[in-house]
């Protein structure tokens, strides 16, 4: 799906908040830039997007987002190099996945140019909001939700597409202690686990809070039927290293097709790291920990890129992972972030200049 846009209307904010922001002490997703992209679906079509000042949204209490949860989102980042160039990392993949998620929730798919040209225009308007310090970036949140009204249980007739941005520091600090979930499920066969639907994350919060109360930071999700196979780590894809082989679960209608996950798999091949995409049983991971062959576990996602796991809990017992000087996780994170920030060559064609 595509539609060409020659120019996008820009409504500039009267005053900027940027002088009040401490860019040396940014938390993740707490401070928001001056502008946002707004696009409305009505009368059976997406209207032209425009850049407007970041502002609250007014919705009727009967808006269907509140009642039936038609909402999907994406996450990506913009970076500045030392020459003040702005870069994106695989944004076309985010666009495609947003439409895959939308289709599953009966939300009208967006034209590609509305997303890509709209995003680039927004970044040019708010280019001063992109931080340059190590580990920082401009986090970008595209999302679509049902704004049409009515209590009838059916898809809405109006929607809003918004891109909001937030200058942010590192998402996670330190290593994670995680709990392998044996009761609750993140998603099910035939469900919406592969989509970035807001409700998927809402459903994770309660089991995660139970894990936090036990001293863990995150949950490792297992399959919905037997809880015998690990699938994801919190809101991230998961990788396990046994001996020298890196293993990750295959994507399915339960598991998100992570862009960072795909990037890791491609980079691992160029680094001659043995990779297996297959089901990984909880039993296999526990046994590998016991016999010393479990070398690494880490989560992979846009916000953190790679989050090392220091220990996991299973059936009231904790298992520590070794500390490695030359870990796959550290190597792969550096390869990805160097491409993202234009510090290295990009043999894959992932980096997009704005």
DSSP-assigned beta bridge partners for residue 300: 237, 306
The pLDDT value given to residue 190: 93
CA 133 to CA 116: how far, in whole Å?
26
Determine whether domain 9-168 maps to CATH 3.30.470.10: yes
Note the pLDDT of residue 205: 96
Residues 121-158 as b or e (16 or more Cβ within 10 Å = b): bbbebbeebbbeeeebbbbbbbbbbbbbbeeeeeebbe
**What are the tens digits of pLDDT across the range 283-298?**
999 999 999 999 999 9
Least confident of 31-45, 159-173, 187-201: 159-173
Asked if residues 285 and 243 have their Cβ atoms less than 8 Å apart, the reply is: no
| Mean pLDDT along residues 150-166 | 98
| Per-residue pLDDT reduced to its tens digit, 250-288 | 999 999 999 999 999 999 999 999 999 999 999 999 999
Say if 9-168 and 176-340 have the same CATH topology: no
**Is residue 146 pLDDT above 70, yes or no?**
yes
pLDDT-derived band at 133, boundaries 50, 70, 90: confident
Contact 180, 240 (CB under 8 A): no
pLDDT digits (tens, 9 = 90+) for 47-59: 999 999 999 999 9
Mean pLDDT score, 6-21: 94
Question: What DSSP assignment string belongs to 27-87?
Answer: -TT-S--SEEEEEEEETTEEPPPEEEE-------TTBTHHHH--EEE--EEEEE-TT--EE
Is the predicted pLDDT of residue 6 greater than 90, yes or no? no
In this prediction, residue 134 has a pLDDT band, given cuts at 50, 70 and 90, of: confident
Q: What is the mean pLDDT of residues 195-211?
A: 96
57-92 confidence digits (pLDDT tens): 999 999 999 999 999 999 999 999 999 999 999 999
Quick one: DSSP state of residue 216? -
pTM: 0.95
Mean pLDDT of the chain: 95
Residues 6+ apart with CB under 8 A from 292: none
Under CATH, domain 176-340 is a member of which superfamily? Answer: D-amino Acid Aminotransferase, subunit A, domain 2 (3.20.10.10)
Whether 174 has a pLDDT exceeding 80, the answer reads no
SS3 156: coil
Do residues 78 and 167 touch, judged by C-beta distance below 8 A? no
Q: How confident is the model over 144-157, as a mean pLDDT?
A: 98
| pLDDT-based confidence at residue 171 (cuts at 50, 70, 90) | low
* Confidence grade of residue 220 (pLDDT, cut at 50, 70, 90): very high
| DSSP state, residue 349 | -
What's the mean pLDDT in 317-328?
95
Coil, helix or strand for 153? coil
Q: What is the mean pLDDT of residues 224-233?
A: 95
20 phi/psi in degrees, rounded to 5: -95, 0
Spell out the domain ranges in the chain. 9-168, 176-340
Q: How do residues 295-314 score in pLDDT, each as one tens digit?
A: 999 999 998 899 999 999 99
Best CA proximity match to 69, nearest among 192, 206, 173, 214: 192
pLDDT of 170 strictly over 80 = no
């Amino acid at each position: 799906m595509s539609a060409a846009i020659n120019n996008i209307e820009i409504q500039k904010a009267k005053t900027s908040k940027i002088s009040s922001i401490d860019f040396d002490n940014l938390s993740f997703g707490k401070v928001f830039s001056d502008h946002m992209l707004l696009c409305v679906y009505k009368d059976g079509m997406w209207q032209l997007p425009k850049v407007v000042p970041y502002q609250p949204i007014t919705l009727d209490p009967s808006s269907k987002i509140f009642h039936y949860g038609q909402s999907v989102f994406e996450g990506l980042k913009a970076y500045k190099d030392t020459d003040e160039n702005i870069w994106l990392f695989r944004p076309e993949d985010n666009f495609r996945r947003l439409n895959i998620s939308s289709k599953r929730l009966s939300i009208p798919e967006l034209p590609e140019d509305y997303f890509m040209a709209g995003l680039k225009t927004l970044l040019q308007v708010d280019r001063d909001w992109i931080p340059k310090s190590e580990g920082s970036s401009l986090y970008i949140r595209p999302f679509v939700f049902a704004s049409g009204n009515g209590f009838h249980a059916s898809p809405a007739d109006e929607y809003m597409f918004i891109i909001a941005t937030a200058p942010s520091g590192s998402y996670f600090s330190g290593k994670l202690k995680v709990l392998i979930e044996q009761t609750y499920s993140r998603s099910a066969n035939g469900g919406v686990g592969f989509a970035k639907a807001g409700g998927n994350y809402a459903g994770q919060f309660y089991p995660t809070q139970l894990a936090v109360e036990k001293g863990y930071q995150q949950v490792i999700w297992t399959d919905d039927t037997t809880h015998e196979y690990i699938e994801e780590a919190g809101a991230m894809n998961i990788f396990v290293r046994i001996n020298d082989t890196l293993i990750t679960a295959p994507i399915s209608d339960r598991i998100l097709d992570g862009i960072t996950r795909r990037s890791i798999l491609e980079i691992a091949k160029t680094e001659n790291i043995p990779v297996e995409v297959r089901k990984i049983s909880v039993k296999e991971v526990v046994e590998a920990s016991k016999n010393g062959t479990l070398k690494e576990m880490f989560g992979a996602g846009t916000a953190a890129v790679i989050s090392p796991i220091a220990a996991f809990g299973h059936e009231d017992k904790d298992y520590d992972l070794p500390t490695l000087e030359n870990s796959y996780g550290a190597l792969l994170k550096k390869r990805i972030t160097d491409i993202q920030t234009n510090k290295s060559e990009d043999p894959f064609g992932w980096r997009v200049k704005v």
